[in-house]
Chains A and B, each alone.
Chain A
Amino acid sequence: MMNLQHHEAVHHPAFLLRMLLAVYVDPGSGSYYYQMVIVGLTTVFFFFTTIRQKIVSVFKKPGTPPADPTPPQTPTDPRNIG
């Protein structure tokens, strides 16, 4: 039987979700149901990223290529040669 006092996750949404469903949740279906808990967050995130993209596109010069999200770091000298 679950010891609520010693359960580290009593206060967070995933625990509340399990209590709400009152079922055993296997790892695969846990991820599935968990998305229903964070659906509000993902929707809000989508809303704001869409708005931000629209604002950025207004101020962006036409024809400007998108920035590389992870610009590579380049070694300047051939080191580490066996």
Chain B
Amino acid sequence: MSDGPKVSGASFRDPNGCIVQYRGEFLRVIQPSYAAHYQCLFESGLYQELVNQGLLIAHEEIKTEAFPGAFKVIRPRQLSFVSYPYEWCFSQLKAAALATLAIQRAALARGMILQDASAFNIQFIDGKPMLIDTLSFERLRLQPWPAYGQFCRHFLAPLALMSLRDPRLGQLARVHLDGIPLDLARKLLPWRSRLKLSLLIHLYWHAASSQGSGGKTAKNRAPANYRLSSLQGLVAFLESAVQKLDWQPPKTSWATYYGGTVTGGKYVEHKKLLVAQFLQAAQPRSVWDLGANTGVFSRLASATKADTFAFDGDPDCVEINYLETRRTGESRLLPLLMDLTNPSPALGWAHEERMSWMQRQSPDLVMALGLVHHLAIANNLPLDRIEQFFTRLSAWLIIEFVPKNDENAQKLLTVREDIFPAYTREDFEKQFGASHTILRAEPVQDSPRTLYLMRRRD
């Protein structure tokens, strides 16, 4: 296999530089065309200010002969996992939007400007939204903000739709990688959204301004006397628009599905004890908690200093989980939205711009607590396919088997015919035992469930 540099599939648009994978690390190669802007980033003090505030990813310059002709090669802080905007809950997208505007405000104050406002340039690092594209800055020219339309498509439109219509509409970003078209957002938003001045201006009228009206080509009409205060005003205006958008997660059936049953007795406390013991035995550095709900058990993993990603398909649960991480300042736990029966695919040009969920990381350990019965009974997934899925994911596995006589499994079976004769504990152990060594199998108190610690046979 070649050890040469490989340009990232998501890094082909910017002529000033690109991300390359080289010797197991992600580096950013900067072309001479960006030299003046790069120097300004440092001489203006903007880089240090943003890094100090946790708004820009830190990097170090490295010396290498692998990229002839490059102006600089920098090594940004390496990320263990990359998440995408369509996997964020409402408050995560809102935090990313406000971070982008805070960066733009700081840049304007130091004579620079953000050239793009893509939500994909933001990552949640140490629990906070951070810009990862160091080449987004250019020296300030007094002209309209070139990234204004992109900001509205990537942030304002989805936030308005999630806030005023339905949080699941954030998934539109998965179809529209360059942001939700404003004319589409306008059609989907409720009529009352027109009563919000900020949305009227930045979405409704803005959408109309972007629709073509003839066959001529736009002339290059450079605006005269464009002022810095106009750019600063636009940032303040957009900040106000974003701040006013809000969404409170309701108590959905998912969020209360288990509340009155499995939280009773000693079940939760005993399960916590077992999970903590299993984590101690496995010592993982990275953990995926699948079907994490509000992250009660994910927090046991993040408490061991493992980088923990809590996936759930319910926007309400992810929102509650994220707000809890913010309240407690947890830096090692990132809740994300993911439908396990239809996880994020590879997207974009040649399927290389955005990686599929399983391409992005191979975690040390996967937790699947209270999940298998949903996959097997609610989604008709045979146990062998479930086992193959988990075998691909990670070496270590903490998995809970929920038998048919469990109260919640019974609820699933009341609305469907029992066509799952092979869904028994014996079948489960036989299936998983073929690919894993079962290290622990512990019954959980006050329930018919069993918790397993397994290690894949490599």
Contact = CB atoms under 8 A, between A and B. Distances in A.
Interface of A: 2, 9, 12-15, 17-18, 21-39, 41-47, 49, 69-70, 72-75, 77-82
A47 B229 contact: yes
B233 A45 contact: yes
B294 interface: yes
B335 interface: no
Contacts, number: 182
Nearest to B319: A73
Contacts of A72: 91, 323-324, 326-327
Interface string B287-305: 0000101101100000000
A74 B210 contact: no
Contact of B237 (A25, A32, A42, A78): A42
Given A28-B149, A79-B256, A14 B209 contact: yes
A21 B262 CA distance: 65
B206 interface: yes
Contacts of A29: 218
Contacts of B146: 32
Contact of A14 (B205, B219, B296, B324): B205
Contacts of A44: 233
Contacts of B320: 73, 75
B208 A79 contact: no
13 contacts: A9-B211, A13-B209, A24-B213, A32-B144, A34-B148, A42-B230, A46-B233, A46-B237, A72-B91, A72-B324, A74-B327, A79-B263, A81-B370
A73 B205 CA distance: 33
Contacts of A28: 149
Contact of B216 (A22, A34, A42): A22
A16 to B, nearest CB: 10
Nearest to B197: A41
* 7 A-B pairs closest in CB distance: A82-B370, A31-B149, A46-B233, A14-B209, A42-B233, A30-B210, A35-B144
A28 B146 CA distance: 8
Given A46-B236, A49-B236, 15 more contacts: A12-B205, A25-B212, A25-B218, A29-B218, A32-B148, A33-B209, A35-B144, A35-B234, A39-B144, A41-B233, A43-B227, A45-B237, A72-B91, A72-B326, A74-B323
